[in-house]
Amino acid sequence: MDDDRWMSRAVALAGRSPRSSTAFAVGAVIVGADGREIACGWSRDTDPLVHAEESALLRAGGEDLTGATLYSSLEPCSKRASRPDATCTSLILAARIPRVVIAWHEPDIFVTCEGVALLTAAGVEVVEMPEYAQSARAANAHLLPPIMPEGAPEGSPEGAPEGGPEGSPKGAPEGSPKP
């Protein structure tokens, strides 16, 4: 299985997701044991509440997925306010997909996600590809707190101007002209 090819596709699909302040942008691809794409989806592609994995599973129709791999740019949800009985984790388990590949774990912004733990406990092989995490996070940058570089002082997010108030030179009195 070409994990890099399919995870790249899932991450690219996440970029198609309409922006939301209450949900992540995710892409998902289902690939058969023969290496062909069965279906794909992305967050909010068919309605404002649909998740990427859910969309891909719906598009797969009644196809046998017992030998398939599902690629997702984010850990499949295990809690869901909009459709509590249709979490992506439960849908994957119901489809009997034996292998799930993710780019990164869902951060605890909206809910505490236990998708990987639940899938693993049910016997699903879960593979994380952390080399795709940064690309997957990019589609969700508006939801994420700024990343602090190592050794940076508290309150100085990466990319923030050095210096005093509003970017004035360090040590300059407030209201000093910016360089």
**Of 53, 54, 75, 106, which one is the catalytic site residue?**
53
Task: Report strand pairing: 27-31 vs 69-72.
Answer: antiparallel
**Rounded Cα–Cα distance for residues 162 and 108 (Å):** 29
Q: Where are the alpha helices (DSSP H) in the chain?
A: 3-14, 52-59, 88-94, 115-121, 133-138
- For the chain, strand residue ranges (E) read 27-31, 37-42, 69-72, 99-102, 125-128
**CB atoms < 10 A from the CB of 158, how many?**
9
- The reply to whether 125 belongs to the active site is no
Question: Catalytic residue numbers?
Answer: 53
